Amino acid sequence: MRILLSIKPEYVYKILDGTKKFEYRRTVFKNKNVDSMVIYATLPEGLVVAEVEVLGVLSGSKTEIWQRTKKYSGISRRDLFAYFKGKKEAHAIQLGKVTPYIEPKTLKDFDASLKAAPQSFIYL
């Protein structure tokens, strides 16, 4: 099963170049069968740019998540802690093989039924 995930362009580039192997989320998908995610780079890009294998999801306190993922976080400790401020549990999606699209697609090109980019993610 695939999900479509909205990610800021600065982090998309790090995923594409292999320096970011974890995507952090305050809430995470409940379906355990998610095995890949389609990446939508938010504005100003506004394009669907790649598909990434999902290897698993790590959950824990922000300190635990930072300790387990910092080498390939693609984000500073300060920014990660700010992102999870007020949350008891943090989630990190572990990313596997990245397959960039040769030609990025608009949301409508990717799936004509999509009216807008998801705030977080949607199941495809």
Give the whole-angstrom CA distance, residue 96 versus residue 63.
23
Residue 79's SS3 state is helix
Residue at 52 is within a domain = yes
Angstrom distance (rounded) from CA 82 to CA 111: 33
pTM: 0.93
The pLDDT averaged over each successive group of 10 residues in the chain (124 residues) is: 95 96 94 94 95 97 97 96 96 98 92 85 88
What is the domain-level CATH number for residue 58? 2.30.130.30
pLDDT of res. 16: 97
Range of the domain at 24: 2-101
Residue 103: predicted pLDDT: 95
Domain count, the chain: 1
Buried b (16+ CB within 10 A) or exposed e, 5-31: bbbeeebbbbbbeeebbbbbbeebbee
Q: How far is CA 71 from the centre of its chain?
A: 17
Q: Which residues contact 109 (CB under 8 A, 6 or more apart)?
A: 48
Asked if residue 119 belongs to a domain, the reply is: no
**Is 109 contained in some domain?**
no
Whether 55 is covered by a domain: the verdict is: yes
Residue pointed to by tokens 């802690």: 81
- For residue 122, tell me if it sits in a domain: no
